[in-house]
């Protein structure tokens, strides 16, 4: 059955990594799915989750095993195994332009429902059947709507949670109290739901200690990330697009803090010894907003052949810095405040900068801080949320950097149909000529 629906031969799609830390990730991912499958066998509670919903610490404190479904779709795309699941979703009536992650996830569970068992040859053994579905509103609509759609195939309990993204021009002093209050109530609702599902009570002291450890983890990741400002750049976006995995999917795992400390040590050593991604770094690029083309990550390596390194990106960003206020003792209040502060930070800085939209603000900061010579934005057909606003962002950036070359690369996060390698390479050739001319003009 699996062989009938597969249309793409399996091939290596990954990119070249420059750090040892990045080299550890494949093993970590395999272990993550294996542990989740074992947990299922041991009758532990499994939750389907979305990244960056601010509930990781709560799930850890309640001993709920987290399975990140968007990222499983990404894994399927990396392994060129996504098509079979997308076809299942489309056969079940879902549009071929629906979010690619959702298509894969719905197709996967539709197939599991049809077979009454794990789909055959599922990458890394597949996602275990969940005991609960935990969506959230931050990022895009499919991140909660997808789990509701799974109601066609399973009766799994759902808790969809609001995570607010304040408007860019808000009166932040006026909205903050009720934005934080709503977030706290949503988190309390989640805890009540989890207590019901697991039969356990929340240990708030444990939760507080997990929150503190998570913030320490983020501090180390940020310290490591900032080292990429160095010239030559010690780590590329190719590495970043796997380095984010422990933070986004294993945030509360005991090894994650050590992983980012190790990353910091490795990058520090590289910076101190002026070891860059390339021996001769000619250009520094920014991977602008747009999730990666998981199906063909090696295309990023083509930029290296021009002496160009992706020194920064605005996808899978590190959360904004957050100092834990010493007077807050309720971890739920703390997580709610943290979500507000982080989700409004770019808006507030953009407003202070005279009305710069938040997405443009994020790009402008990186162009300035990481000495950027050109920017690539990935137009992803099935991910409107990460695509809408790219042209706008480019236009706003031009006010500050009128000549900065920008390339719009068209493909998708999952679906190969809208991607042409030959055309993309031609486009890169032209773009790199522009970057060369720009760099020359800046000297």
Partner 1 sequence: MAKIALRGLTRARELYEHREARAKELAKKGRKVIGYFCSYTPVELFTALDLVPYRIQGKVGKPVEKAGQYLESIVCPYVRSCFDLALGGEYDFLSGAVIPHTCDAMHRVYDIWAYYLKPPFSHSLYVPHMTHPASYEFFMKEIEYLKRNLELFVERTASEEDLLKAIELHNRNRALLRELYQMRQPDPPLISGTEIMWVLVAGMTIPVQEFNELLEETIKEVRSRRPKSEGKPRLLISGSEVDDDDLVRLIEESGADVVMDDLCTGSRSFWQDVDTSKGAIVGLAERYLGVTCPRTYRPGKAPQRFSYLGDFIRDWNVQGVILYTIRFCDTYQLDAPEMKDYVESLKLPVLYLEDTYITSPIGQWKTRVEAFLETIETRRE
Q: Which residues bind partner 1 (CB under 8 A)?
A: 92-95, 97-99, 102, 137, 140-142, 144-146, 148-149, 151-152, 158, 160-162, 164-171, 174-175, 178-179, 181-182, 185-186, 189, 355, 357-359, 379, 381, 384-385, 387-392, 395-396
Of 249 and 339, nearer to partner 1 (C-beta) is: 339
The conformational region for residue 388 under phi > 0 = left, psi -120 to 50 = alpha, else beta, is: beta
The C-alpha atoms of residue 407 and residue 149 are separated, in whole angstroms, by 36
Radius of gyration of the chain (CA): 22
- Which of 1/388 has CB closer to partner 1? 388
Closer by beta carbon to partner 1, 79 or else 338? 338
When the beta carbons of 98 and 364 are compared against partner 1, the nearer one is: 98
**Minimum distance from residue 93 beta carbon to partner 1 (Å):** 3
- Listed in order, strand segments (DSSP E) in 383-430 are 406-411
In angstroms, what is the minimal distance from the CB of 135 to partner 1? Answer: 8
Closest approach of partner 1 to the CB of residue 433, in Å: 23
What is the nearest approach in angstroms of partner 1 to the Cβ of residue 142?
5
Q: Least distance in Å: CB of 90 to partner 1?
A: 10
Residue whose C-alpha is closest to residue 92's, from 106, 75, 80, 78: 106
Least Å distance between CB 256 and partner 1?
29
Q: How many helices (H) and strands (E) does the chain have?
A: 17, 7
d(CA 247, CA 159): 23
Backbone angles phi, psi at 136, to 5 degrees: -150, 155
Distances (CA, A) of 190 to 22, 331, 347: 34, 14, 27
Rounded least distance, CB 131 to partner 1, Å: 17
Taking the least distance from each CB to partner 1, the nearer of 297 and 356 is 356
Q: Is the peptide bond before 232 cis (omega within 30 degrees of 0)?
A: yes
Backbone angles phi, psi at 126, to 5 degrees: 90, 165
Which residue, 117 or 192, has its beta carbon nearer to partner 1?
A: 192
Q: How far apart are CA 106 and CA 153, in angstroms?
A: 9
- Beta carbon nearer to partner 1, 216 or 330: 330
């Amino acid at each position: 059955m699996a062989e009938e629906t597969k249309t793409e031969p399996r091939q290596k799609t990954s990119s070249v990594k420059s750090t040892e830390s990045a080299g550890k990730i494949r093993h970590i991912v395999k272990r993550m799915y294996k542990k989740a499958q074992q947990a299922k066998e041991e009758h532990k509670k499994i939750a389907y989750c979305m990244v960056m919903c601010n509930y990781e610490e709560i799930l850890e404190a309640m001993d709920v095993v987290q399975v990140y479904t968007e990222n499983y779709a990404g894994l399927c795309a990396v392994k060129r195994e996504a098509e079979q699941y997308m076809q299942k979703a489309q056969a079940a009536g879902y549009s071929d332009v629906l979010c690619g992650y959702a298509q894969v996830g719905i197709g996967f569970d539709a197939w599991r429902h049809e077979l009454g068992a794990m789909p055959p040859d599922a990458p890394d053994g597949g996602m275990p059947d969940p005991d609960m579905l935990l969506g959230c509103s931050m990022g895009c609509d499919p991140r909660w709507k997808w789990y509701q759609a799974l109601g066609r195939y399973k009766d799994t309990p759902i808790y969809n949670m609001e995570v607010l993204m304040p408007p860019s021009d808000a009166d932040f002093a006026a909205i903050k109290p009720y934005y934080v209050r709503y977030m706290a109530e949503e988190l309390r609702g989640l805890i009540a739901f989890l207590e019901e599902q697991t039969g356990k009570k929340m240990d708030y002291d444990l939760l507080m200690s997990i929150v503190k450890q998570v913030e320490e983890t983020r501090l180390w990741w940020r310290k490591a990330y900032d080292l990429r400002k160095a010239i030559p750049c010690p780590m590329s976006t190719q590495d970043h697009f796997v380095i984010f995995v422990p933070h986004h999917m294993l945030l509360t795992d005991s090894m994650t803090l050590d992983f980012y400390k190790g990353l910091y040590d490795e990058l520090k050593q590289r910076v101190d010894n002026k070891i860059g991604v390339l021996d001769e770094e000619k250009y520094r690029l920014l991977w602008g907003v747009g999730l990666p083309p998981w199906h063909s990550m090696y295309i990023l390596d083509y930029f290296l052949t021009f002496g160009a390194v992706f020194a920064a990106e605005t996808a899978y960003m590190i959360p904004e810095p957050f100092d834990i206020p010493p007077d807050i003792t309720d971890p739920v209040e703390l997580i709610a405040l943290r979500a507000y502060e982080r989700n409004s930070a770019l808006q507030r800085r953009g407003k202070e900068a005279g009305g710069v939209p938040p997405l443009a603000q994020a790009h402008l900061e990186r162009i300035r801080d990481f000495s950027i010579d050109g920017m690539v934005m990935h137009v992803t057909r099935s991910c409107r949320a990460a695509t809408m606003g790219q042209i706008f962002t480019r236009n706003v950036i031009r006010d500050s950097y009128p000549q900065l070359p920008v390339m719009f690369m068209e493909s998708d996060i999952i679906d190969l149909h809208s991607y042409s390698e030959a055309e993309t390479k031609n486009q890169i050739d032209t773009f790199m000529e522009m970057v060369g001319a720009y760099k020359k003009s800046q000297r």
